[in-house]
Every structure is written in structure tokens, then in C-alpha cells.
A and B are shown apart, each in its own frame.
Chain A
Amino acid sequence: MSDVTVEVMEKKLVTNQRPTDAIVGESPLHHADLASIASQGPQEGGVHFCEHKLLGLLTLRCVPLPQQQEEIESLLGVALPMAPLTSVTKDDTSIGKVSVRWVGPDEWLIIVPGDEAFDLETRFFETLSGHFSLVNISGGSTVFDVSGDQVVSMLKKSIPVDLHIREFPVGKVVSTIFAKSGAIVCRLGENQFELVVRRSFADYLWLWVQDASREYGLVVKTS
């Protein structure tokens, strides 16, 4: 075809969506200029905030049969977390850091380096058998990393799920409401959480996090 890689595999379309590195993408919080806040804003506070920009985000829909599970594991370098509300993260797969979040009984969110999304998509459609869907949503969501001594307090203002470490251990992931939007929330450490949020709500959530963190102090970091 033309100058874009287009492959029709399994009678589905895969297109590369990233331009060359000459064109720099703008994450949903681009306008907030977090880098300036990080360098000029407060350096101490109970809540730390960082946007992991321009990652590769893929939604996998599937009710995987054993064979599919194996195929997916070899594609991702990690096994699909089959138990509800679980996740896996592996820093050193062949394509770098890969995270998989359970979203629903037939839905996972896969997070990979931004420039790996298309290749991975392509390999999925080439390799994976049976019924499934894989959708690139890298432009539609962004990843917040929130941490700090008071991060749990901040989150208790924002989401209704129980965040006690016994109920919400490291590695647990939930899809839930976040203020008046939604988020996929994964606990990365006792005081560190990953929030995957939708692009159009990102500014609202950024405002919300600033507001909810005000009494604890907010430190913005760059990734």
C-alpha cells in the first residue's frame, strides 16, 4: 500500500500509529508543563506525582484457552494474570518493561514502551490463534504515578475501594471510579500507585490530585 505499514491479519487491521521520532507526541498533560513544576515547585510533600508519558497501551479482550495463554505468554514475556484483580510487571523482557493489568474476566491492559506497541500488536495478530481483540489505546490514556507518605490519604478522597494493605496488597489492580471519572489503579508499593486514566479526563484528574494533595503537599516529578 502506501507509506504506512498496514497489515491485514486474521482479517483485522493493524496500523502503525507513531510517526518518526522527529515528531514529538504530546501527552494528555502536556499543557500542564509538569517539567517546570518539577524543577521549580515544592520538593517536599506527602504526595508525589509523575506522568509516565507516551507509553504503549493495548487492550486485550479474550477468554484465553490454555493454548492462547501459552501463546500470549510467549508474546509478552510474562504470563497473563488470570486471577481477578491481579497484575504482573516484568522489567526485563525482550521488549523492555512489560506490565499486564487484569481489567475484567476477558480484558487486560498491557503496558509496554511506546515504540514497542505496534510491533507487539503485529506479533499478536500474527501469532495468537482463536477469538480475541487487541486495540491500541496509547493515545486514549495516560499513566500517572502517585506515591508518598500520604498517597493513601489522597486516594481515600478519590476512590471508594479499600486501600488497606491487607485488602489491597502490592500488585493488586482495580478498575474503579476516581472522583467523577474512572481509573485503573494498581498498587506498585506500599506507598506507590499507578493510575491509568483517560486522556480527556486527564486535566480534571490532575486538578483533582492537586486539590486532594493540598493539605499534604504535592511534589511533581518527571519520569
Chain B
Amino acid sequence: MSQRNRLQNGGRIDRSKSLTFTYNGKLLKGYAGDTLASALLANGVDIVGRSFKYSRPRGIVAAGAEEPNAIMQVGATEATQIPNVRATQQSLYDGLVAGTTNGWPSVETDLMEYVGKIGGKMMPPGFYYKTFMFPQSLWGTYESYIRKAAGLGRAPQDTDPDIYDKMNQHCDVMIVGAGPAGLVAALTAARAGARVIIADEQNEFGGSLLSSTETLDGKPAAEWIASVVQELASFDDVMMLTHSQVNGYHDHNFLTIQQHCTDQFADRAPNGQIAQRLHRVRAKWVVLATGAHERPLVYGNNDVPGCMVANAVSTYINRYGVAPGIDLVLMTSNDNAYRTALDWHDAGRNVVAVVDSRKNPQGTLVDAARERGISILVGSGVIEAHGSKRVTSVSIAPLNDAGDAVVGAIVKMKADTVATSGGWSPVIHLSCHTGARPVWNDAILGFTPGATVQKQLTAGAINGSFTTANALNEGLSAACEALSHLNLTKPDVSLPATQDIEEGEAMALFHIPHTKPTSKAPKQFVDYQNDVTAAGIELACREGFESIEHVKRYTAMGFGTDQGKLGNINGMAIAAKTLNQTIPQTGTTIFRPNYTPVTFGAIVGRDCGALFDPKRYTAMHSWHVEHGAKFEDVGLWKRPWYYPQGQETMQESLNRECLAVRESAGILDASTLGKIDIQGKDAREFLGRVYSNAWAKLAVGKCRYGLMCGEDGMVFDDGVTSCLAENHFLMTTTTGGAAHVLEWLEIYHQTEWPEMEVYFTSVTDHWATMTISGPNSRKLLEKLTDYDVSKDNMAFMDWKPMTVAGVPARVFRISFTGELSFEINVQANYGLHVWKALFEHGKAFNLTPYGTETMHILRAEKGFIIAGQDTDGSVHPFDLGMSWAVSMQKPFSFIGKRGMQREDCVRADRKQLVGLKTIDPNVVLPEGAQGVLDPKASIPMPMVGHVTSSYWSANLNRSVAMGFVKGGLDKMGERVFYPLVDGRVVEAEICSPVFLDPKGERQHV
């Protein structure tokens, strides 16, 4: 196929750069500067898709973001597939591979079309709500067919090879749209010294000027554009973004711009380059100069390929040198669209007729058409297009004054292209994103931006100011207003002279009547992508869907990937007419982000893969990796979970680690525990308020365990706090709770008790913490320090400063295993040195590294809780059997005290934490198993509580478990049953949670 629709000359394409691309398996040619759409039209491709519901053939109707039909699958390889690319926005590049998304066996000949033709009659809007109900069991089957038929393109199966990026930007003035209004605004702001960002979705600046034959200062508009662009580029503080859609306008002037960096030029980004960059812009002022979209008219079979929006036809001619047909019928309700007839004529093609709904059109452009001898049929409309895969002819009929009835004989004319214009709809999308409701403007028959609390200004066609002269003026005045708010001086800017064109009054016309009532007329499409017709909208209104939101939802109007850019206003007009209301009475149309779809990858930027979330490491991490540790995710931390050796199973590793600790010595990297340095004369009092137990008498050099509760009395964290000096404490928290606890302390200090003299500083990362535990841990420590760590000099719950392996350390004699333990803290820069030194001297004691899992087992043998595992935010200290950690006598009503005394919190039958001893010692209860008292009870079974912690204890050669049981503290020795998913029922005896060394002798040696 040659480029049979390509004009001999003209257009902003580079005819010296021929490009080859593949469309549905065929090789086609285009030029640099083409879009995929313009290249397809140049090659005479009529059908670019099949409609969703009726499988009707569809062609390109528009030239920009509003295109509903030309939705392509693009990508040369599996990994680079992109679904749903709008051909009108995709620049052509050499080697581009595109295809249509629906149609079987091909988009040209689609068998579903016949199904659509026959079944379509049974598919009015909402038909699916009225059927497929019986039997219920078959809905899944119906649904699978519906799903297959829907869905446009497909996602790739392979991993995306492209890189996306995000960048934060700040500016004084963000200008959206680089048409005449935007360019003048940018130039004005830039000359005043403002920091400016100007973005446009097109491949070059110029906006509407690129598609028209207008002159500025008597010269082609392109020359003026080039001079402005050149000047803008000379400012350091001006950022110019082409191929960049501003897609979201969020609160407080935050905007997102999707910039296509390479994906408009290549199937995948060349080595290391960014495919797309998402700019996150915070602008002091925003100027929306987003222009307008032309509204097509709604008439019979207006979806046959060859039916287009008038301005799109002009764009293809003037910008791309493509005339998408031979014989044009133009239908319009306004003067502006006459340009298309002139362009078509001047391109050497045949204008069959201009069909004008107005009785007496007058204006510069109308005169120009008459001068060219173009036939103008006034007071008429195209009521129907004919043809299956391409328009072959049209039916034209005289209309009454209101434009709502056919009043004369039908004339049929041959044509292959129908261009229509019902006027222009301002592109108000961004102005709606922060909640402003647009307002209807009768003068322009469209919505314009409503009042907003954003620092937003608008200029040009978005305001309904459609002429270039007005756009330039408004661009200047918007910039000047922004500059005055920014306290910048308005510079000299002279606007170029525009052509003087007088336009006659336009007629309010949306829906062309047919000789038949709408319900019986050929389908008149309003929303192409979702196959919404005028008849469908009328039906929805008749059925009682009277709010425009109901109409939209019932018919799916505006829910396509084009978000109703072409169809929404026509749909509202039809609904309004059906309901005998005005358009503003019917409602308004609200747009949400995004203006056009945004690649997920671009939104994510670099926050994916290895950078999805930080991995936090301790100072000894490299050692753990070298020694084969498996890691557990705890918050953002990577903690050693266990250290398998050889072919060990996990349980074998755990058994080995557990035995080593109790028999000799083990070592745990405990650096991830939260640590907070607390200083000030009120530090001690503060501790008393935030912990449930007493702190008044903790002596210097001593450590104490504490529970932290919310005001509701429920435990949320725990840890050991040590008295470093009278006014100086070191608090430890759980690994996951560190940040929350610090903020908790701060909020009470800053908002409730600011008079207290105390400061909190996180030192979690500062200290590397290694716990040596086991009967030989003292002997090991003695090898590395000269300090007297004997029982007499360093008792249980003492801390001492000393030098360990040559490094100054703080050593805490606290134990989470129930064994003799020393927690050695050194400045993290020396952590690995000390850790390695311990191993050098630890060989004699079989020093065994153990991970979090062994730690959990060892503490469970001792009945110590883990906040977050044995608590869930709904248990207070008494529920945990930890009344010893609550001091109700403290003078200050500590946080949690009042909460834990509420009526429901003092019930005797609350779930309480107890030990659980399985009757069969070899059975390990699954954590999460739910207990019942009567395993034979019928479902729903009354449950008494769940297992929170459960392990195989190699030391005890049996299982150990803890869990909640209703009233469990008073049920020692009684039985609980755990019906499991696999059908087993495990029986357990309620016991003390302390399974090993109940007197605590091992840790006191």
C-alpha cells in the first residue's frame, strides 16, 4: 500500500526521513513528524478497531487526546507491549509495531460483527442487569464470555525492560499548554524573571496554530512560534517540556506531568536512558491554557469509518500533509468549521457540500467558501451516513429552526468523508481535579472552569475564548496577574497581529434528528468507545435514570479511555432534551485525574524492584550473609532468621542453635531493637507516666523491663530501660515499634507535658548490639575484657561500662533467653570488629550464632512475650498475666491505667495468656490455631482463644506453646481442644507459660 492519501506537499513532516512501521503485520511507510494515526490515514487505512459491544468497524475520528477509536497494541517484542496506545498521540518511529486490539479473524472482517448486528438489538444500555440471572451458578460462565469480549489491548507477559523516573519540580508559574495563550503567558512570565515550566502534550509547541493556516504579523504562525520558543529556551529558569501531558492537578497547586523521553522514538529506551519521566510539580501559580476539543455532531451511523471531527481533518491536512479521503461533506452549526472545507478544497480535493444547520450563515469564512464555489446547503443536516467499512454516501435533509426535526426531502450525496462540528468544548479537565465544579456557558455552548481555591488562572480557549487574538490577550493577562501576585514586574510584551475574521453566531445543535424516532433510527453514537447511542441515553432517562451521573453510569458514557472528551457534552444535551431540562439542570460533568492514561511504571519511577522499600542492615550484616544466614523481614530490617549449616532442615538448625545456647553459648545480633537516649531532670518521672510499672527507685547502673500501653490500657510495646545516670536513661523498644514509640514520647512531651525537662534522641543506629547467651557467656566475655563481670560485681539486671575486645562498650546483664546473658553495645562503627573478636574467642565455647527464630523459641520456653506476636492491641497487662508489671499505686495516673479499668476490661472471662502443653508432646500446635472447650460442638463453634506462640523445644524435647484462653488464668490444668484445618483435633493442657527454669536460676548465676 502506498501513501495514497499523502498530499504532494505541506505539513510539518520531514519528507526526507521516511519511516517504516508495521501495522497488523503489514509494512507501511510514513515520515518523521507523523503520528501513527496520520501515517495510517496517509496509507488509506480505514478501520482501526472494532467497537466494544456491537463489534462495529471504527476509523480515526480525531487527531489528539480525544480520539476514542484508534486504540492500538504497540510493541515489537513481548516485553515491550503497550496496551491501548492512542494512535493520534503516538509519534511514528522507524520499526514501530502496532496492531488493532479486537476483531476476529481480523479487524477488517470480524465475525463478531454479525453477532453484534443480531444480538445488538437485545443489548440496550444496562441489558446485563436484566438478564444472566438464572441460574446463579451460571453467572460465572456468562461472565467469562463477557470478559473475553471486553478489554481492548493486553498486558505484556515479560518484565518491562524500560526505566522510568520521577523528578520533583518547583516553579513560580506552571503553564499547561503551549498554544498561543500558553506561549504568550510563558514568554511574559519568563521575561519578568519568573521560574516557568511550560508543558504540552504535542511533539512541538504551537498548539492550535500548528494545525491552521493562520498568519501572525502577516507571516505563517510557525515563524512566530519558532521565535518564542527560541527566546524561552534562552532563559535558565524556564523549563520547556514537549511530549508531556499534565495529567493531574492536585491540591495546593501540585501537578503531575508525564514526559515521554524516548518511548515516542523507540520501542524500548536505548541503553540506560529514561523512557518516561514523571514530574511532580509544585507551582506557586498555574495557568491553564489547555485549549478546546471540537465536538462532533451526533447522527445516524456516525461511526462509519470516514466520519471525523472537522478540525481533525484540517489538522491532518495542514500538519501532516494527509487528506483522509476524496469527497468531503462538512456538516456544521458554526462558522469556524468552514476552515475545514477551505483546507480540503485548497488541498485539491472535492468538497461535495457544506451542510450548515443555520438558515443564514454569514461570516468571513462562509464568504471564503462561497468564493471558492463550494456548495452550501443551509438549514440542513446530515441525518445518516451510509457504507459499511467506509462512508460511501450521506443522507442530507432540511431541518426545522430548532434543529430537532426533519422537515423536507432527503437528498443522498456520494462522499467518503464526513466532517462535523457542533462547536468547541473547552478542555476543563484539570480545573475539575481539585473539586471545582465547572459552569455552563450559554454563549459558547460549553462548560468553563468553575471557581476554585487553587491559585489557578486560565487563558484562551479553555475560557471559551476561541480566537487566536483572544488567546494571545488572555495569555498575556493571565501571566500579568500571576506576576503581580508574585511581586514581579510586568515586562514589555507585544502581541503579534492576528487576521481579522468575523464569525457569525453559532447554533446550539448536538443531535441531528432523523426521519425515524431516535429509538428506531440507525445508531447515533455519542460515546464511540463504549457504544453509547442517543437512543441509549433516551432509554436511560425514560427508565428513571435522571441524574446525569446515573445516565453516565447506566450507559457507561464517559467511562472509556478517552473519558468522554468527545461525547460527554452531546450526551448531556441529549439527556437534557429527553428530560425537558436545560443542560445545567441536568448536571455538570466532573473529570478526575488522569487527563490521559499514565503508565504505571512512570508513576512508580525508581521505587520498584531493589529500591521498592529500603532494606535496613546492621553493622554485622555482611558477616551474616557470609555465614549463610536466612533473613526475616522485620519492618524494613533484614534480621538473621537462622543459620543453616550444610544440608540441615530449618528445624535441625533451630534445634542445634537452641541447644547450643542452653548448653554453652550463642550469639544474637540484637542491633535492630529501638534505642532512645533520654536526658533531663524529669526523665524518670516521664518514664513513670509512659510505662505501666514503677521507675522512681531504679538505681543508676540498673535495668528494668517495662510495658507500654495506650490510653485504652492495651499493650503496644515493651522493652528494657536502663538508668545510665540520675537524669539519663536508655530505653529500648521492639524492632518494629521504635519509630512509633519515639513519636509517642514526643507527642506527650510536646503537647501534654511541655513543662517537663526531658529530651529524647534516637540512638538505634548508633549502637551495635550483640547478645551472648548461655552458661559459658561469662567465660567468653571474660576473655575479651579486663572488667570484673562476676556475679558479685555485675548482678542480673545490672549494666556496666567496660572495654570489650578493645572497644569501649556498655554491657547489660539482661536476658531474653532465661540464660546467663550479656548484651554488649558498642558504637556501630566497631560492631563487626567486636562481633568477630567474640567468635575468635568463642570457638572454645562452641559459640553459635542464632537468629530470631531461635530467640523466639528460647523466650517461649521461658514464657516471655513478644509484643506484636503475643499481643494484638486488644490485651492489657493483666490479660497477659503480667500484673507484676503494673503499678497502680503510682501518684501519676500513667498512660493506660484508666483505660484498663473500664467495665469491659475487668471482666473475669477475658481472654488471658497462658501456657499450653499438648497432651501428645510431639505435636506442635500451629500458631493461629483456635481453641474450643467442646470439639464436638456444632458450627459456629464457640472459641476461647488462639495460639500465639508455638514451637518445638529441643531443650525440653517437647512442644511448647502460649495462647489466649477465656478466663485461662483460673483454668490451670484444664483442657482445651484445637480443631485444625486438616481435621485433626489437638488437645492441650492449660499451664503456666514458663516451661523451663520457673525459678529463674539459670539467668541469675
Contact = CB atoms under 8 A, between A and B. Distances in A.
Interface in B810-850: 810, 826-833
A56 to B, nearest CB: 11
A135 B167 contact: no
A204 B616 contact: yes
Nearest to A8: B725
B599 interface: no
B803 A3 contact: yes
Nearest to B272: A214
A1 B811 CA distance: 14
A180 B613 contact: yes
B517 to A, nearest CB: 58
Contacts of A3: 786-787, 802-803
Contacts of B726: 8, 11
Contacts of B619: 26, 28, 139, 199
B767 interface: yes
Contacts of B765: 137, 139-141, 198-200
B768 A139 contact: yes
Interface in A121-153: 131-141, 153
B201 to A, nearest CB: 22
A166 B78 CA distance: 47
A156 B786 contact: no
A170 interface: no
B727 A159 contact: no
Contacts of B622: 31
B466 interface: no
A167 B680 CA distance: 37
Interface in B225-247: 237
Nearest to A24: B833
A156 B167 contact: yes
Given A11-B727, A199-B619, A19 B806 contact: yes
A91 interface: no
B370 interface: no
B787 A15 contact: no
Interface stretch (A40-48, A68-76, A82-90, A205-213): A205-213
A162 to B, nearest CB: 4
Contact of A133 (B680, B806, B828): B680
A157 interface: yes
A26 B829 contact: yes
A13 B728 CA distance: 7
Interface-centre pick from A11, A22, A207 (highest chain B CB count, 10 A)? A11
Size class of the contact patch on chain A: 35 or more
Contact of B829 (A10, A54, A133, A198): A54
B830 A16 contact: no
Contacts of A119: none
A150 B801 CA distance: 47
Contacts of A20: 806
Interface stretch (B16-24, B604-612, B645-653, B987-995): B604-612
Given A11-B725, A12-B727, A25-B829, A19 B808 contact: yes
B581 interface: no
Nearest to B676: A135
Interface-centre pick from A54, A133, A164 (highest chain B CB count, 10 A)? A133
B551 interface: no
Contact of A140 (B166, B787, B826, B828): B828
Contact of A156 (B168, B607, B810, B826): B168
B766 interface: yes
Interface in A184-206: 198-201, 203-205
B109 interface: no
Interface stretch (B134-142, B291-299, B318-326, B756-764): B756-764
Nearest to B618: A200
Contacts of A137: 761, 763, 765-766
B766 A156 contact: no
Given A3-B786, A19-B806, A200-B617, A157 B728 contact: no
B272 A140 contact: no
A1 B801 contact: yes
B677 interface: yes
B607 to A, nearest CB: 7
B798 to A, nearest CB: 13
Interface-centre pick from A28, A164, A199 (highest chain B CB count, 10 A)? A199
Given A2-B801, A11-B725, A203 B829 contact: no
A96 interface: no
Given A13-B724, A140-B828, A215-B274, A133 B786 contact: no
A18 B827 contact: yes
Contact of A212 (B237, B606, B768, B832): B606
A219 B76 CA distance: 35
A4 B803 contact: yes
B637 interface: yes
A133 B759 contact: yes
Interface-centre pick from B606, B617, B787, B829 (highest chain A CB count, 10 A)? B829
Interface string B879-903: 0000000000000000000000000
A10 B761 CA distance: 18
B679 interface: yes
Nearest to B672: A200
A65 interface: no
B170 to A, nearest CB: 4
A50 interface: no
Contact of A203 (B274, B617, B787, B830): B617
Contacts of B669: none
Contacts of A24: 833
A181 interface: yes
Contact of A136 (B165, B728, B766): B766
Given A26-B829, A26-B833, A211-B606, A10 B727 contact: yes
B785 to A, nearest CB: 8
Contact of B761 (A28, A59, A138, A203): A59
B681 interface: yes
Contacts of B618: 200
A138 B829 contact: yes
Contacts of A25: 827, 829-830, 833
A163 B168 CA distance: 10
Contact of A23 (B700, B763, B786, B830): B830
Interface-centre pick from B280, B724, B761, B826 (highest chain A CB count, 10 A)? B761
Nearest to B615: A204
Nearest to B762: A140
A114 to B, nearest CB: 9
Nearest to A211: B606
Contacts of A23: 806-807, 830, 833
B273 interface: yes
A179 B802 contact: no
A13 B827 contact: no
Interface in B570-619: 605-607, 610-611, 613-619
A17 interface: yes
16 contacts: A10-B727, A11-B726, A16-B808, A18-B808, A61-B759, A61-B761, A136-B827, A139-B766, A157-B605, A160-B280, A160-B282, A164-B170, A164-B195, A167-B170, A200-B618, A205-B614
Given A31-B622, A133-B759, A204-B614, 4 more contacts: A2-B801, A18-B808, A164-B195, A181-B614
